[in-house]
């Protein structure tokens, strides 16, 4: 089973998947960039297992 890191952005009660990354470091950089540009109220990274 493989794992991916999903970057999710939240704004006004809505959730949007902003990107799916194989490496956590890439997901972290994407989330950090979204937070710096204040595109969303909040941003989080979630790990998903895929088959």
pLDDT digits (tens, 9 = 90+) for 2-44: 999 999 999 999 999 999 999 999 999 999 999 998 889 999 9
pLDDT for the residue 11: 94
CA 18, distance to chain mean position in Å, is 6
Range of the domain at 13: 2-50
pLDDT for the residue 51: 87
Asked if residue 1 has pLDDT above 90, the reply is no
Helix H or strand E encompassing 33: helix 24-36
**Cβ atoms 3, 26 nearer than 8 A:** no
pLDDT for the residue 18: 96
Number of compact structural domains in the chain:
1
pLDDT for the residue 39: 83
Q: Which two tokens mark 8?
A: 């999710």
Burial, 28: exposed, middle or buried (Cβ in 10 Å; 0-12, 13-18, 19+)? Answer: middle
């Amino acid at each position: 089973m493989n794992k991916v890191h999903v970057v999710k952005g939240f704004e006004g009660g809505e959730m949007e998947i902003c990107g799916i990354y194989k490496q956590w470091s890439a997901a972290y950089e994407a989330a950090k960039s979204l937070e710096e540009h204040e595109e969303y109220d909040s941003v989080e990274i979630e790990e998903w297992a895929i088959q």
